[in-house]
């Protein structure tokens, strides 16, 4: 495997060798500083994964009553009457003590996560008597400082640190770690050389080895369920005529360590997202890896079916590819990226290390997040490929393009990327660390940043992640090659800033009734609550009616979380709430309100039917909104029925008497009205069998002639028989 000495003038391996033998790994040039970390030599033992910093728990809230509307609440707080607040929160709260000012301290019945505490605070804040509720957080001295010796020791993980002074290229992790260290629900697949079991890397899930060539796999077989790295050392000319000898790179372990090395365990360095999990997918062996193996590995990592391989039980949200080759995106790569994007995975790829103004494949494929690299001073790295497909630049180490008098090893601006390694020159040996340079190292910085973002808001889409990374990127340092006109648009949006990316995540809004159906003239409440994932307090709510509404709507208390309006006569109306937190991050959510008129059942006059006869009526209802009414029976005599379309039928009406029929009609929204009418089954002789009496909603209809003449005092007796009368 050929490795280039980080200069744009370095010689290139022949294209024929690359395309005929391997998909050349975009390996960064490595400089192994030591065989083992001094701490490991001193006998420090591996520690369990529970030494990752635990998420903060909260057991108290700080509540402040509204200055004007909260007098009653203030009195309850002073009397320590906590039943009202417990009812609102739907959980047990105890008023512990009064604080300075007008605030009080509430004790929860159990410790909860900070997200649960913020949700509880938001629920209490919906009460108009409350000015504010917020978790009682434990503060720590600034700034976050992991105790891992490799973090701040020489040469140190400058690439994670806050950009101050000469370190303009740091990714600004310390304040980001105060927001989140990631969580165990976000899985990152690393498609690389596999992994070495390492005392500083323990959140590794079951993976798979997709290297199909036995010679390249270097483990005695082809594809299998063992994703560990047996080493990829090569002899001179082994990867093609003119290729040089190289020791095992342990490249995959290094990449994984950048993302998820344990933190605060006293060993080696820290990872960007130490609480996330890694899915190792081995696709590279001796001399690199084939496209066919890599695309299978990509689909498997995303949870898709791959012939001959078991289904991945841990589909990854993020796939890191620190590899590639020169040339345009192949159809095979593009199809695989389309598939994994459709499955919900975000693909992060390194640009390549040739120092060209062109991006390698698969970074140049549509749908990837292409990453270039910069040096400690924020300048574009001399080896880094640039191109219009680039999304962002992340720390890769080495010398900047415009740097002068730069020596690659540990000079003021030649620092590399510190992460995990192994002492074995060929086969695995002891845990260690290593210093590497390259876009291979830049890509996992972005993958780790996205893992933190998804830990805060798992619902973020690929496009939303891209937008947040672009918007939060820092401007390149003065004098950087990326600011030259010739490179305009070639370096991406700027320098990765993880803290800025996290604080750019918009507040999550909950609207109590996203879609309401109300009656005309009703006072309609528009209630919202919001939590900022980054922990910044929400500072404002602004409700407004959509300009697309057919008539203007006046929103009452529009600049509060709980607005309202008076419903007009009819129509459907849209409303939007805009929420802003103290960092300036904003989000909005929509609510829809339909003003629904009630179907009105038309009245029916008293109906008469001879005992034993059938009465049929077609009931009608009108609806101002044009909704189709559905009829329901409230009270019917025995044997009577009412259909959904309003057909009332009483066959063989009996016994004689006066009956009150009650019916209702409603629309699809459940709104309706009722109506009652009377049916009389009069006393007198019953009609002979087979003679029926019917009426309609228009009134009238034949009735029993004998009963009619008797009722009117006539002495004439008549009987309907076979359609004619006899006198």
* pLDDT over threshold 70, residue 82: yes
Nearest one of 205, 245, 248 to 230, comparing CA atoms? 248
Average pLDDT of the chain, as a whole number: 84
Q: Would residue 231 count as lying in a domain?
A: yes
* pLDDT over threshold 70, residue 713: no
The structure tokens listed for 277 are: 């999990």
Burial readout 565-600 (b: 16 or more C-beta within 10 A, e: otherwise): bebeeebebebebebbbebebebebebebebbbbbb
For residues 614 and 650, is the Cβ–Cβ distance under 8 A? yes
Nearest one of 557, 559, 560, 588 to 574, comparing CA atoms? 588
Please tell me which residue in 251, 254, 374, 536 is annotated as part of the active site: 251
Same domain, 392 and 432: yes
The structure tokens listed for 319 are: 């796939």
- Mention every residue, 6+ apart, whose C-beta is less than 8 A from residue 231: 218, 248, 250, 424, 426, 427, 428
What is the residue-wise DSSP string for 325-371? Answer: BSSSPPHHHHHHHHHHHHTT-EEEEE--SS--SSPPBTTTSTTEEEE
Q: Would residue 724 count as lying in a domain?
A: no
In the structure, what pLDDT confidence band is assigned to residue 144 with cuts at 50, 70 and 90? low
d(CA 44, CA 340): 41
Residue 540: the pLDDT is: 93
Residue 685: the pLDDT is: 46
Which of the pair, 484 or 722, is modelled with greater confidence? Answer: 484
Same domain, 164 and 98: no
308, 313, 315, 320: CA torsion to nearest 10:
-70
pLDDT digits (tens, 9 = 90+) for 384-435: 999 999 999 999 999 988 776 677 655 666 789 999 999 999 999 999 999 9
Q: Would residue 717 count as lying in a domain?
A: no
β-pairing, 368-374 vs 346-350, is parallel
Sheet containing 571-581: which strands, arranged edge to edge? 515-518, 586-595, 571-581, 538-545
Strand partners for 465: none
- Average pLDDT score over residue span 498-517: 92
Same domain, 409 and 465: yes
For residues 144 and 178, is the Cβ–Cβ distance under 8 A? yes
Structural domain range at position 561: 508-595
Residue 672: the pLDDT is: 86
Please tell me which residue in 172, 187, 192, 293 is annotated as part of the active site: 192
- Say whether 251 is catalytic: yes
Residue 266's domain is classified under what CATH number? 3.40.50.200
Residue 684: the pLDDT is: 58
Q: What is the CA radius of gyration of the chain?
A: 38
* pLDDT over threshold 70, residue 696: no
Same domain, 450 and 528: no
d(CA 240, CA 449): 37
The structure tokens listed for 77 are: 């707080």
For residues 242 and 14, is the Cβ–Cβ distance under 8 A? yes
Residue 565: the pLDDT is: 97
Q: Would residue 354 count as lying in a domain?
A: yes
Helix (H) or strand (E) holding 604: none
Same domain, 295 and 215: yes
Residue 620's domain is classified under what CATH number? 2.60.40.10
Residue 625: the pLDDT is: 87
- Residue 62 to residues 72, 78, 508, Cα–Cα distance (Å): 17, 14, 21
pLDDT digits (tens, 9 = 90+) for 103-138: 999 999 888 888 888 989 998 988 889 999 999 887
Same domain, 321 and 419: yes
Nearest one of 462, 440, 438, 450 to 498, comparing CA atoms? 450
- Specify the length of the chain in residues: 727
For residues 440 and 362, is the Cβ–Cβ distance under 8 A? no
Q: Would residue 194 count as lying in a domain?
A: yes
* pLDDT over threshold 60, residue 690: no
Same domain, 187 and 216: yes
Residue 727: the pLDDT is: 35
d(CA 246, CA 160): 29
Residue 65's domain is classified under what CATH number? 3.30.70
Least confident span in 111-115, 210-214, 475-479, 579-583: 111-115
Chain-centre distance of CA 42, in angstroms? 44
d(CA 531, CA 604): 56
Nearest one of 126, 181, 186, 121 to 531, comparing CA atoms? 121
Cα torsion 124, 126, 128, 132: sign:
positive
Domain boundary among 561, 595, 629: 595
Question: Is the peptide bond between 420 and the residue preceding it cis, with omega within 30 degrees of 0?
Answer: no
In terms of Cβ atoms closer than 10 Å to its own Cβ (0-12, 13-18, 19+), residue 106 is: buried
Same domain, 545 and 486: no
* pLDDT over threshold 70, residue 214: yes
- Mention every residue, 6+ apart, whose C-beta is less than 8 A from residue 283: 191, 192, 210, 211, 289, 293, 294, 297, 323
Domain boundary among 566, 595, 624: 595
d(CA 25, CA 3): 9
DSSP state of 168: T
Please tell me which residue in 30, 440, 504, 534 is annotated as part of the active site: 440
DSSP state of 473: P
Domain boundary among 563, 595, 627: 595
Q: Would residue 719 count as lying in a domain?
A: no
Q: Would residue 6 count as lying in a domain?
A: no
Helix (H) or strand (E) holding 131: strand 130-135
pLDDT digits (tens, 9 = 90+) for 326-373: 999 999 999 999 999 999 999 999 999 999 999 999 999 999 999 999
Residue 79: the pLDDT is: 85
Residue 704: the pLDDT is: 32
* pLDDT over threshold 70, residue 379: yes
- Average pLDDT score over residue span 8-18: 30
pLDDT digits (tens, 9 = 90+) for 532-552: 888 888 899 999 999 999 899
Percent with pLDDT over 70 in the chain: 84
In terms of Cβ atoms closer than 10 Å to its own Cβ (0-12, 13-18, 19+), residue 244 is: middle
* pLDDT over threshold 90, residue 184: no
pLDDT digits (tens, 9 = 90+) for 22-80: 333 334 333 333 333 322 222 222 222 222 333 467 889 999 999 888 888 888 888 88
Residue 56: the pLDDT is: 62
Same domain, 385 and 286: yes
Which of the pair, 709 or 414, is modelled with greater confidence? Answer: 414
Q: Would residue 188 count as lying in a domain?
A: yes
- Say whether 497 is catalytic: no
Structural domain count of the chain: 4
Same domain, 418 and 469: yes
Percent with pLDDT over 90 in the chain: 66
Same domain, 402 and 439: yes
Which of the pair, 488 or 233, is modelled with greater confidence? Answer: 233
d(CA 267, CA 272): 15
- Average pLDDT score over residue span 207-235: 96
Which of the pair, 665 or 113, is modelled with greater confidence? Answer: 665
Same domain, 242 and 306: yes
- Mention every residue, 6+ apart, whose C-beta is less than 8 A from residue 68: none
pLDDT digits (tens, 9 = 90+) for 605-651: 999 999 999 999 999 999 988 899 999 999 999 999 999 999 999 99
The structure tokens listed for 115 are: 């997200």
């Amino acid at each position: 495997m050929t490795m280039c000495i980080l200069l744009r003038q370095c010689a290139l391996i022949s294209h024929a060798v690359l395309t005929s033998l391997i998909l050349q790994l975009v390996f960064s040039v490595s400089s192994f500083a030591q065989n083992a970390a001094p701490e490991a030599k001193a006998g420090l033992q591996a520690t369990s994964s529970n030494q990752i910093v635990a998420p903060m728990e909260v057991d108290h809230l700080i509540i402040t009553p509204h200055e004007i509307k909260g007098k009653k609440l203030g009195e309850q707080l002073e009397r320590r009457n906590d039943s009202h607040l417990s009812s609102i929160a739907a959980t047990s709260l105890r008023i512990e003590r009064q604080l300075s000012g007008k605030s009080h301290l509430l004790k929860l019945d159990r410790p909860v996560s900070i997200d649960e505490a913020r949700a509880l605070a938001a629920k209490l804040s919906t009460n108009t008597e409350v000015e504010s509720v917020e978790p009682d957080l434990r503060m720590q001295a600034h700034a976050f400082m992991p105790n891992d010796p490799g973090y701040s020791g020489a040469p140190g993980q400058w690439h994670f640190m806050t950009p101050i002074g000469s370190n303009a290229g740091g990714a600004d992790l310390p304040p980001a770690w105060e927001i989140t260290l990631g969580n165990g629900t976000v899985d990152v697949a690393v498609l690389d050389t596999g992994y070495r079991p390492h005392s500083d890397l323990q959140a590794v899930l079951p993976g798979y080895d997709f290297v199909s060539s036995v010679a390249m796999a270097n483990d005695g077989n082809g594809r299998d369920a063992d994703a560990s790295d047996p080493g990829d050392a090569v002899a001179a000319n082994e990867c093609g005529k003119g290729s040089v000898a190289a020791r095992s790179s342990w490249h995959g372990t290094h990449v994984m360590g950048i993302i998820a090395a344990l933190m605060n365990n006293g060993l080696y360095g820290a990872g960007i997202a130490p609480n996330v999990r890694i899915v190792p997918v081995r696709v590279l062996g001796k001399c690199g890896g084939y496209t066919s193996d890599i695309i299978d590995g990509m689909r498997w990592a995303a949870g898709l079916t791959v012939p001959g391989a078991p289904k991945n039980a841990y589909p990854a949200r993020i796939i890191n590819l620190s590899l590639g080759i020169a040339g345009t995106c192949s159809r095979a790569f593009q199809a695989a990226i389309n598939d994994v994007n459709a499955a919900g995975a975000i693909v992060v790829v390194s640009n390549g290390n040739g120092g060209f103004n062109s991006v390698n494949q698969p970074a140049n494929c549509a749908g990837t997040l292409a990453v270039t690299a910069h040096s400690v001073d924020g300048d574009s790295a001399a080896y880094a490929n640039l191109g219009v497909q680039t999304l962002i630049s992340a720390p890769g180490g080495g010398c900047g393009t415009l740097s002068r008098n730069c020596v690659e090893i540990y000079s003021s601006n030649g620092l590399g990327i510190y992460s995990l390694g192994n002492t074995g020159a060929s086969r695995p040996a002891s845990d260690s660390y290593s210093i590497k340079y390259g876009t291979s190292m830049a890509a996992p910085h972005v993958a780790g940043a996205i893992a933190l973002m998804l830990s805060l808001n798992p619902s973020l889409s690929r496009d939303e992640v891209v937008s947040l990374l672009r918007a939060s990127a820092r401007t390149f340092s003065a004098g950087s090659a990326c600011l030259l006109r010739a490179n305009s648009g070639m370096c991406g949006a700027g320098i990765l800033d993880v803290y800025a990316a996290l604080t750019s995540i918009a507040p999550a809004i909950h609207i109590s009734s996203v879609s309401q159906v109300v009656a005309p003239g009703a006072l309609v409440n528009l209630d919202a609550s919001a939590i900022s994932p980054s922990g910044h307090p929400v500072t404002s709510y602004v409700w407004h009616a959509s300009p697309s509404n057919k008539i203007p709507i006046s929103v009452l208390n529009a600049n509060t979380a709980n607005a309202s309006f008076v419903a007009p006569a009819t129509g459907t109306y849209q409303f939007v709430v805009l929420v802003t937190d103290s960092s300036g991050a904003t989000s909005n959510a929509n609510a829809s309100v339909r003003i629904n008129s009630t179907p009105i059942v038309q009245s029916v006059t008293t109906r008469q039917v001879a005992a034993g006869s059938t009465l049929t009526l077609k009931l009608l209802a009108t609806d101002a909104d044009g909704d189709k009414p559905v009829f329901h029976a409230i009270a019917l005599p025995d044997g009577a029925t009412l259909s959904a379309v309003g057909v009332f039928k009483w066959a063989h009406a009996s016994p004689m008497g006066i009956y009150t029929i009650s019916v209702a009609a409603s629309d699809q929204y459940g709104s309706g009205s009722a109506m009652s009418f009377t049916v009389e089954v009069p006393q007198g002789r019953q009609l002979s069998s087979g003679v029926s009496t019917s009426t309609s909603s228009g009134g009238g209809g034949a009735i029993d002639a004998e009963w009619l003449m008797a009722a009117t005092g006539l002495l004439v007796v008549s009987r309907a028989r076979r359609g004619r009368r006899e006198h």
